[in-house]
Structure 1
Amino acid sequence: MKTADPELMRAINRFVVMDAIRRSGTISRVEISERTELSPTTVSAITAALLEDGLIIPRQVAPAPDQVRGRPRIMLELNPAAASVCGAKLAPNKITISVTNFQADVLGTVSIPIRVDRQPASVILDLVEDGVRSCIEAAGLQVEDINSLCLGVPGIVERASGICRYSPIFSERDLKLGLDLQGRLKVPTTVESDVNLITLAEQWFGHGRDLSDFLVVSIEHTIGLGIIHGGELFRGANGLSPDLGDLIVSPNGSIGNGSRPGRLSGIASTTAILSVAADLARGTPQEKLLRGTRGIEHAVSLAQAGNGGISRIFEEAGRALGIAIANLITLFAPPKVILAGAALQAGDLLLKPLRDAVQAATPETISGVTEIVVHESSDDTWARGAAALTLRDLYGASWGTTGPAKKR
């Protein structure tokens, strides 16, 4: 019978201990042993190495008032200065860049307003490079201090190669974004779908913090799907990120308006919603606003003011999303499905038909298993997700020691 690789087991145990410290914020060795089910001897050996490498730091805590005697307890926590991570996110109308420490606290952010979808990839990469350098400098750091850079992009990303196969914000396909940025900045660079960054942020800091399994559905220019299964982010071959928007929701190739494709993204993405809304408003002052950068806000305002045509667009989108989510619930039976994205600005215009469709389409046998929750969006959520992704790689990698190579 083949036994487990001892080095692999040490790496796994090291990761488990680091993750327990990260989840708890501050924790004792005894509590780590209880939560991870590792022996006290194993926990002591791993934490001693982590302390030596500077990945964690000790904190003395005074004895409880009812303890008359005894030494102060030694608690452990992540060392914020152990690593620095830079994250950059591309959206249709801006580039956002943030720098975080080893605890995923945001140290600085730079936002560059630009119509990304109207520029060639080379121009966007120039702007990302300049923005990264500016953000790092504003955080009081140098490029050499950055352990990793993560670029978040909407669309289909092959993380293993750093290639963006498709994104609605680029006219080009199969872009080698990771290699290009790494060559420019000389910093290890990964490329990931933006929904996976939100998913990891939810796992570390949000609704999924105490869950081993949950899904995230992001409703933006694409319909993204993030999957946490067994505590790990699911990816396909070569690290491919799944795109829920490619799901066929109509066997006849169209739904509602015959010109709209039968894929979910052709019905429920913000691009599809605004395209049909602008067509309804053609020739009126509202058309230009609906095609602008704040089109969703304007569409919501019109629907709330009684525009029945636009209300029906949101209703149809919500119903299609609900059917897709019911299928996901049937497949995965997750305890939570977390909704995120710009389309959620529509509130109950979108969410009520979505929830109704989920309830109607979910099999009775698993009815009530899944809670649907709405992601509390903030400007730095994706950045903390980028930090989570790269920090997991940093402290989960199988180095000869437990930490990154020390700088000379």
Structure 2
Amino acid sequence: MKTADPELMRAMNRLSVLDVIRRHGPIARVEISERTELSPTTVSAITASLLDDGLILPRHEGDIRSETVRGRPRVMLELNPGAARVVGAKIAANRMVFVVTDFCGTVLATLTLPIRIDRQPISVVADIVEDGVRRCVLDAGLSLADVHSICLGLPGVIEHRSGHIRSSPILRDSNVDFAAEMSSRLDTRTIVESDATAIALGHHWFGRARDLEDMVLVSLEQTLGLGVLHNNRVFRGAGGLSHNLGDLVLGMNSEGVVRLSSQAGETAILSFQHSEARFAEAVRLGRGMAHAQALIEADDSQLITAAVRAGETIGFTIANIVTLFAPPRVIVVGSSLALGELFLKSLRDAYALAMPPSLHDVSELVFDNSGDDFWARGAAAVALYELYESPWSTTGPASSF
């Protein structure tokens, strides 16, 4: 009978303790033991190591100088904000948004570059990303030598472990080893992640899922993405593959398979009005959904049909996801929410119709309009999470590239 790898178990226990301190600190060791179900001895050993590495700080409750206070002051533990700094970014077709955060995820600087990249060669995209990272780090009063890790979130099919972008609607190249390219340029470990996974972790750390250990996020942007959290950890496919929900097959017709993206993706919704010059310009500038909402309110029949069809298809898809995973909460994010109440009503109605009666009260459906800064902060959370998992010495995290 095989036994668990002791090193792996120590790493998992360390991560568990650090995450409890992040979520509930300042917190006493006894409460950490209760929340992690680790023995007080194990918790004491782990927290002593975290203190030595400078990842956490002690906070004394009570005044140790007062002779009137009996007994020793209670020692509470909290994260050390200065233990590390990371960069997170949301890379979209017509803009890039960067944030720098400390070890607690507090934002130190933000930068938005309104620039179109979807027709540029990968070398040009890399140049722009590099400039954006460097400028945002400088705005935070830091240098790249002060940054421990960088995470770039973008739409598409991405291998988290290798950093390969298999495909992305914002890049004209495919099978790009973007993590290696950016790590070399910036001389800093760079992670490439699905933007849907990044904002899912962002909501778990900072947003609408802070109270949950399990949740599902559906992203309605240029691609239809899926983020899944299970037992406080991001669930990914083989090789760390992201989940591209838009590739889900709905059925077949005379032209072949019908995928979700062809019914509910941004391109499918906006393609109806490309003949109208003003609308086409809004789409080109990344403002298509907002303009579409205005046309829907003006009773444009084609866009109303497209929005209702998209809402119904997404509603049925979410019902299928809930049937499979039964998460306590499904968070829906992305540009399609700008279509307004007509879209949302069709989504809710289809979801209610498709849900099995036995599961009708299992999942809460939440719609969130977080801005680009929050998406970038989610990418920073991915970088921080990997730092939390990394082996540390007193000089910082061990290099893994």
* TM-score range normalised by the length of the shorter chain: over 0.9
CA contact (8 A) 1:90 1:153 kept: yes
CA contact (8 A) 1:215 1:227 kept: yes
Give 1:253 shift. 6.2
> After the TM superposition, which residues 174-323 of structure 1 pair with which residues of structure 2 at under 5 Å, given as runs?
174-252=175-253, 262-276=258-272, 278-279=273-274, 282-283=275-276, 285-323=278-316
CA distance in 2, matches of 1:88, 1:247: 27
CA distance in 1, matches of 2:281, 2:369: 29
Number of residue pairs the alignment of both structures matches:
395
CA contact (8 A) 1:106 1:383 kept: no
CA distance in 1, matches of 2:277, 2:143: 51
- 1:303–1:7 Cα change, 3 Å: same
Deviates more, 1:1-10 or 1:144-153: 1-10
- 1:159–1:315 Cα change, 3 Å: same
CA distance in 2, matches of 1:70, 1:137: 47
Give 1:35 shift. 1.0
Give 1:400 shift. 6.8
Match of 2:345 in 1: 352
- Kindly provide the amino acid, as one letter, of the partner of residue 29 in structure 2: R
1:4-40 Cα offsets, whole Å, 9 max, x none, are 2222221111111000001113211111111111111
- 1:235–1:283 Cα change, 3 Å: closer
- 1:171–1:75 Cα change, 3 Å: same
CA distance in 2, matches of 1:393, 1:138: 24
1:118-152 Cα offsets, whole Å, 9 max, x none, are 21111111011111111111111111111111111
**Which structure 1 residue ranges, 5 or more long, are not aligned?**
255-259
TM-score by length of 1: 0.91
Give 1:404 shift. 1.9
The 3-state SS of whatever aligns with 2:344 is helix
CA distance in 2, matches of 1:76, 1:237: 37
Match of 1:257 in 2: none
CA distance in 2, matches of 1:340, 1:253: 33
- 1:289–1:384 Cα change, 3 Å: closer
CA distance in 2, matches of 1:290, 1:138: 31
The 3-state SS of whatever aligns with 1:109 is strand
CA distance in 1, matches of 2:169, 2:241: 16
CA distance in 1, matches of 2:107, 2:163: 24
Deviates more, 1:48-57 or 1:299-308: 299-308
Alignment of 1:19 with 2:35, yes or no, is no
CA distance in 1, matches of 2:276, 2:387: 54
The 3-state SS of whatever aligns with 1:89 is strand
- 1:136–1:364 Cα change, 3 Å: same
Match of 2:36 in 1: 36
Match of 1:116 in 2: 117
Match of 1:128 in 2: 129
CA distance in 2, matches of 1:402, 1:212: 32
Q: Which residue, 324, 329, 333 being the options, matches 1:336?
A: 329
Match of 1:170 in 2: 171
Give 1:387 shift. 2.1
- Kindly provide the amino acid, as one letter, of the partner of residue 194 in structure 1: D
* CA RMSD across the alignment: 2.1
- Kindly provide the amino acid, as one letter, of the partner of residue 205 in structure 1: F
Give 1:346 shift. 1.9
CA distance in 2, matches of 1:401, 1:39: 25
CA contact (8 A) 2:330 2:364 kept: yes
CA distance in 2, matches of 1:325, 1:154: 19
- 1:284–1:124 Cα change, 3 Å: closer
- Kindly provide the amino acid, as one letter, of the partner of residue 57 in structure 1: L
The 3-state SS of whatever aligns with 1:116 is coil
1:182-212 Cα offsets, whole Å, 9 max, x none, are 1111101110000000010111122222222
CA contact (8 A) 1:59 1:76 kept: yes
Give 1:214 shift. 1.1
- 1:168–1:57 Cα change, 3 Å: same
1:311-338 Cα offsets, whole Å, 9 max, x none, are 2211110001111111111111111111
- 1:359–1:233 Cα change, 3 Å: same
Give 1:97 shift. 1.5
CA distance in 2, matches of 1:39, 1:104: 28
- 1:286–1:157 Cα change, 3 Å: closer
- Kindly provide the amino acid, as one letter, of the partner of residue 73 in structure 1: R
Give 1:348 shift. 1.6
Deviates more, 1:78-87 or 1:205-214: 205-214
Q: Percent identity?
A: 53
- Kindly provide the amino acid, as one letter, of the partner of residue 275 in structure 1: S
- Kindly provide the amino acid, as one letter, of the partner of residue 379 in structure 1: D
> After the TM superposition, which residues 395-406 of structure 1 pair with which residues of structure 2 at under 5 Å, given as runs?
395-399=388-392, 404-405=397-398
- Kindly provide the amino acid, as one letter, of the partner of residue 270 in structure 1: E
